[in-house]
Amino acid sequence: MANPITVSGKSTFDFSELGRERIATQCLCCGGRNLKSTPAVLMPFVSHRVFGWEPVIIDESWGLQTVKTGNAYSICKSLACSDCDFLFLDIRFSPSEMEKLYQDYRGDDYTSLRELYEPGYALRNENLNAGIDYMGQVESFLEPYLTFPLTVLDWGGDTGKNTPFKGRSDVFDIYDISSKPVIDGARIVSKEVAFSNQYKLIVCSNVLEHVSYPSDMIFEIKNAMDKGSILYIEVPLENVQINAGPDSYLKKKHWHEHINFFTETSLRRLAMNAGLEVVELRELVLQFAGKTLVMFQMACRLQ
Ligand SMILES: [Zn+2]
């Protein structure tokens, strides 16, 4: 395994050298192997939906001599990269496990199982589906780097209701594994169709925090880009990182659908190592239902 090399004062990492073990042993953004860790649990909704592992109560009837009685959940670790502060779940899901988690996302089966483990979820889901409207701030961030008429591909775009410029694009394509019907004006495309086009804008919004290998997704998306394309990446800056700072991994004791918590440094490393130039990166602060949400907005083009 090669060590990261330094070019123009910045370390680079060749993603073809990234390990694909079930339990991660290196940073998914910079390849660093100097990882800090703390024990955590995989939330029961996720462990049930992905692995079929339900929480149990171990009691005397189990007849175990060396195991203590009590609640048992799926354990895991929180990992933090010492080089770029990327914070992540050590478990990496396979493609078929991702399919189990995200098929018919927030549909009936998903919602009823989640309600079982997380009472009150169904009501919160209605609010989530109603959405938070900050489209204007996304469009104003991107507009200086775009030319019209626009062609848009929303990678992981769900129904398309949150796609920027959706009413102002000559082409509005969506690639998504959730298999939901899309809004009027949008077209569902396969990867093959997406890769046979080059789009002026590709949106990958609130997706990379869910996937096992963010770099793999960026390399796929690059197939639909040319020198004039802008890739818009949006991921949350999570509250534990805002509140706990550099040692936030010590406070990260549970993992749900967001398995990657990015920092500015880790996002820049990820983009650079994946062959992208960061055109602009900023934090967007939003108020929603009495809470403060922070998003990283990153516009990139091919290097
Ligand atoms: Zn790192």
Q: Separation of 95 CA from ligand 1 center, angstroms?
A: 23
Q: Separation of 266 CA from ligand 1 center, angstroms?
A: 6
> Among 3-7, 99-103, 138-142, 165-169, where is mean pLDDT lowest?
3-7
pLDDT band at 11 (very low <50, low <70, confident <90, very high): low
Residue 3 in this model has a pLDDT that exceeds 50: no
Average pLDDT over every residue of 156-161: 92
Q: Separation of 229 CA from ligand 1 center, angstroms?
A: 27
The enclosing H or E element of 71 equals strand 70-72
Report the predicted TM-score, pTM, of the whole model to 2 decimal places.
0.93
pLDDT recorded at residue 288: 78
- Measured distance CA(156)–CA(177) in Å, rounded: 7
CB distance 224 to 197 below 8 Å? yes
pLDDT band at 178 (very low <50, low <70, confident <90, very high): confident
CA 118 to chain centroid, in Å, comes to 21
pLDDT recorded at residue 129: 63
The torsion region of residue 275 among left (phi > 0), alpha (psi -120 to 50) and beta comes to: left
Q: Separation of 152 CA from ligand 1 center, angstroms?
A: 31
pLDDT recorded at residue 204: 98
pLDDT recorded at residue 2: 42
Average pLDDT over every residue of 226-238: 97
Q: Separation of 278 CA from ligand 1 center, angstroms?
A: 17
pLDDT band at 128 (very low <50, low <70, confident <90, very high): low
- Measured distance CA(10)–CA(12) in Å, rounded: 6
- The CATH number assigned to the domain with range 132-237+270-302 reads 3.40.50.150
Q: Separation of 155 CA from ligand 1 center, angstroms?
A: 24
- Tell whether the torsion through CA atoms of 87, 210, 123 and 297 is positive or negative: positive
- Measured distance CA(103)–CA(49) in Å, rounded: 10
Domain with CATH 3.40.50.150 in the chain: 132-237+270-302
Average pLDDT over every residue of 217-227: 98
Q: Separation of 4 CA from ligand 1 center, angstroms?
A: 11
Helical H segments across 181-287, by residue range:
191-195, 214-221, 239-244, 264-273
- Measured distance CA(141)–CA(137) in Å, rounded: 6
